[in-house]
Amino acid sequence: MTDVMKAVRRAGLAALTITAALLAGCGNGDKTDTKAPAAAGNGVADAEPAAILDKARTALKAAKSFHVKGAMSENGEVTQIDLKVAGADVVGTVAFSGAKLEMLAVGGTRYVRPDEAFWTMIDSSGKTAKLMKQAVGDKWIKPAAGDASLGSFFFGASDIEEMLTPGGTVTKGEAKTVDGVPAIGLVDSADTKTVLYVATTGEPYPVKMERPAPEGLSFSEFNQTFADLKAPPAAEVVDQASLKKK
């Protein structure tokens, strides 16, 4: 899904993991294994593809949070994504070309914490990495208001409308169990290599985005509270504007 992939690169979708339980009982000396009743379907399996997408979009908007992890690529460059999203708040990392950038957005304030490889990627001479290590160390950087460089790494993770807007016509794909969740696949005519799976039991959350290896995204921790999604202490933050004065 062309537009979906672009949005996922900026943040991601969500998932609900469902596991089946086995019940064992004994009676009259005979031992019988009984499977738990199958979870009731949520109706999306029989719906039209566009309606399935609408239901997934509605479910995501109603969700409090989710965790997306995996990899996507563009022009041959693979980006590793590990993000926890709660509304407009985000915490996690993106990694590419051997560099990693920690990201944090809380209450409308954004912070980034690049590793040394990130700065070296920007300036191969190593001078920038050395200066930043001295000026910042392990602290978070608070990008300047309107910053179009460090601030641009926040990919619009909470834009659910864009995440679930296909580039072409959506059709049904295979129905199968994905990460323990019964799901139905959706295929976008504009990007047939991508299959978006939507849960067919419980809430109709997007479950997984499958892509040719090494790409693909998995989703978990839906509606969870993330302890690391909080503003860092002031002593652990450096304002980007102050760095430009050095």
Q: How far apart are CA 68 and CA 196, in angstroms?
A: 14
Average pLDDT over residues 147-169: 72
Residue with tokens 């990460």: 179
Please state, for a pLDDT cut of 70, what percent of the chain lies above it.
77
Strand locations in 154-234 (E): 170-178, 181-188, 191-199, 206-210, 216-220
Distance CA 135, CA 28 (A): 75
The pLDDT assigned to 169 comes to 95
Backbone phi, psi, residue 7, to 5° = -70, -40
Please say if the pLDDT value at position 34 is more than 50. no
Domains, the chain, with CATH or none: 2-13+44-237 (2.50.20.20)
Give the predicted TM-score (pTM) of the model: 0.78
Does residue 160 or residue 30 have the better pLDDT? 160
Average pLDDT over residues 23-51: 62
State the CB neighbour count (10 A cutoff) for residue 2.
Answer: 15
CB-neighbour burial class of residue 16 (10 A; exposed 0-12, middle 13-18, buried 19+): buried
pLDDT score recorded for residue 244: 63
15 pLDDT above the threshold of 50: no
All residues at 6 or more sequence positions from 166 whose CB lies less than 8 Å from its CB, including other chains: 1, 2, 3, 4, 53, 188, 190
Summary mean pLDDT of the chain: 80
Q: How far is CA 93 from the centre of its chain?
A: 10
What are the pLDDT digits (tens) for 120-145? 887 778 777 778 878 888 899 998 77
Angle, alpha carbons 173-177-178 (nearest 5°):
85
Nearest to 106 by CA among 227, 242, 238: 227
